[in-house]
Chains A and B, each alone.
Chain A
Amino acid sequence: MWNELLPPLIIGIIVIILYMISLNKDKEKTKKAVKKSIKLFIITLPIFVFALILMGLLLNDYVLPPTWIQSVLGPYQDSGLQGVFIGTMLGFPLPGPRYAIYPIANALYHSGAGLGTIGALICSQQIIDVPEGMFIEIKMMGTRFFAIRTMTAVIVVFMAGVIIEFLFLPTGFIPPNIPIVV
């Protein structure tokens, strides 16, 4: 956890320095910046907390264990473009932080999934956060924005999966075999 707290700490120090420079330049403007930041933080915090509670309720050993995707993807994993499409669609509702997909993708590959399928799965899990990120996105940017972003995400992720599938096919590339730790 400390490793994850390091980047915000570094960026935090940079932001504090920027605020000090700002304070030095214009006291009133800095005050306004602080007020705006606190307001934005307070408006978003409740939805943020509930979204994370929802993620916690879904992502555990019983409701959606980390390996559920393997059982769903099973019949399609070695079926080329169909596998890429299923990988694209399954990544969207996969909750959890973005780094959590890598061990799952590795395990999927070594249980027979194509590179295009796992490529699409990684991209789709990361590009849109359903359900937790979805609420914050709609709250901040509106429903239309989320709908269009989802539509473009399906198109570009499928394209990326197809490119990965055909690009790596002649090279015989094999990702390292790392056993999944559940």
Chain B
Amino acid sequence: MEKKKFSIGTFLLDIGLVFIVIAVIIIIIFVFPDNYVEIFAQSFSLTLEELITIIPIFLVATFLAGLVDIWVDKGIVIRLFRKTGLWGGLIFITVLGVITPGPIFAMFPIVLVLKRKGVEAHFIVAFIAGQTMMGPMRIPLEIYYLGISFLIVRAILAILMGIVSGLITYPFSKWLDKDIEKHGIIAEKKPDSSEEEALNSQTVPKSNNIE
């Protein structure tokens, strides 16, 4: 088994968040000496409520991601995106993002698997833009607070924004792909022998080589 590569960025990120939380707690105690107990009580209940709501979604998303990772063939995904081209691919993946429910936290396991399957960075950015901008669960709320015309305009804009995001990211795509493979969580997962064999036997080149 390959030894996990040490990355200062990842290390700082892991430790950094803990330090930020501790720093925020200390600042709150100093800035709100009379109310900090109430602040912590409110924070605790909000965090707990969010954890109870988001963890099941996150768990479901990771299990779905695991299944997709095992069953969906990388070659098929690459071929599909090569067939649709840049514009077709961007429209397809943005619409896919718009119809995908769930908070952004839960989306990252799916995004990660899309990346592992050879989907290039500009398509991933378009997917996230579409997914975050509009969601099936938020439609009733948006109509209630802002009206149906606003929702329709924003839905059209969500697709446009996804496509434009993808187009802006396109020139940086290879540079990003390299970084994701080097520093992202993806680097921690080395394909096992059966996966490697399957990839080697495919006639389709890896995503990096696709124009």
Contacts and interface: CB of A to CB of B under 8 A. Distances in A.
Interface of A: 1, 4-5, 7-9, 11-12, 15, 18-19, 22, 29-30, 32-41, 43-44, 46-63, 97-99, 102-103, 105-106, 109, 115, 118-119, 122-123, 126-129, 131-133, 135-145, 148-149, 151-153, 155-157, 159-160, 163-164, 167-168, 171, 173, 175-176, 178
Interface of B: 9-10, 13-14, 17-18, 20-21, 24-25, 28, 32, 35, 38-40, 42-44, 46-47, 49-60, 62-67, 69-71, 101-105, 108-109, 111-112, 115, 121, 124-125, 128-129, 132-133, 135, 137-138, 141-142, 144-147, 149-150, 153-154, 157, 160-161, 164-165, 168-169, 172, 175-176, 179-180, 182-186, 188-189, 192
A37 B58 CA distance: 11
Contact of B129 (A41, A62, A156): A156
B43 to A, nearest CB: 4
Nearest to B156: A163
B102 to A, nearest CB: 7
Given A127-B129, A159-B164, A119 B67 contact: no
A13 to B, nearest CB: 9
Contacts of B105: 48, 51, 129, 132-133, 136
Chain A at the B interface: SS class: helix
Given A122-B154, A141-B111, A37 B63 contact: yes
B103 A97 contact: yes
11 contacts: A8-B57, A55-B47, A57-B39, A118-B146, A137-B108, A140-B112, A141-B180, A142-B183, A144-B180, A148-B176, A163-B157
Contacts, number: 288
Contacts of B184: 139-142, 145
A55 B50 contact: yes
Contacts of B47: 52-53, 55-56
A138 B17 CA distance: 12
A37 B109 CA distance: 9
Chain B at the A interface: SS class: helix
A136 to B, nearest CB: 6
Most buried by B among A15, A43, A119, A164: A15
A39 B186 CA distance: 12
B207 to A, nearest CB: 15
A33 to B, nearest CB: 4
A57 B28 contact: yes
Nearest to A128: B132
Contacts of B132: 98, 126-128
